[in-house]
Amino acid sequence: MKKKDIILYSLTILFLSFSLISYLISFNPGVQLFRNYWDYFKFVLSVMPVVFLLIGLFKVWVKKETVIKHMGHNSGIKGYLLAIILAFACIGGLFAALPISKQLYNKGSRLSVIMTYLGAACVCRIPMVLWEASLLGWEFTAIRFIVSLPLIILSSIFIEKVFGKNLRTELMKAK
């Protein structure tokens, strides 16, 4: 057994032991911690089948040539805009965005476009935008987009310039 697996199993046993002891001695923060974990676990299980279906459809239906043409190295600003639009439609948070970004990488998307997609998926998913606008107003949401999206694109380009060749080399070794 690998050291990483031993650590994972140990932490799981520790968490479950803490939860059980909290329940037995009526330690409310520990009980609430387990309830929060259980609610999130049920949410993830409810969303993951749809996420896997969408990832599978993306893998089969979207051709590599299409991704290279629209989100590849010669895509320009269009690639970043498509990444932001794709991020708007992202469901399920980062555990859906990460596998989709892997598919984008496998199909030849530019690294900075993938980083833009991941950043935008954290900032501008439709349910989050609607919730934010209903609480804080559309003006606040518009200002946040005007500020954050260009910064996401610029930081993605910076990350690609600094780490691009090294990261691509490491990822190719990992395959």
pLDDT tens-digit profile, the chain (175 residues): 788 888 889 998 999 899 999 989 988 898 999 999 999 889 888 888 888 888 888 888 988 888 888 888 888 899 999 999 988 888 777 778 888 888 888 888 899 999 999 999 988 888 888 888 899 999 999 999 899 999 999 999 998 888 876 666 666 565 5
Residue 12 corresponds to which tokens in the numbers above? 């799981």
What is the per-residue pLDDT for 114?
93
Helix (H/G/I), strand (E/B), else coil: 125: coil
What is the per-residue pLDDT for 6?
87
Return the ∠ at Cα 159 (arms to 96 and 116), rounded to 5°.
35
Alpha-carbon span 172 to 175, nearest angstrom = 5
What is the per-residue pLDDT for 40?
87
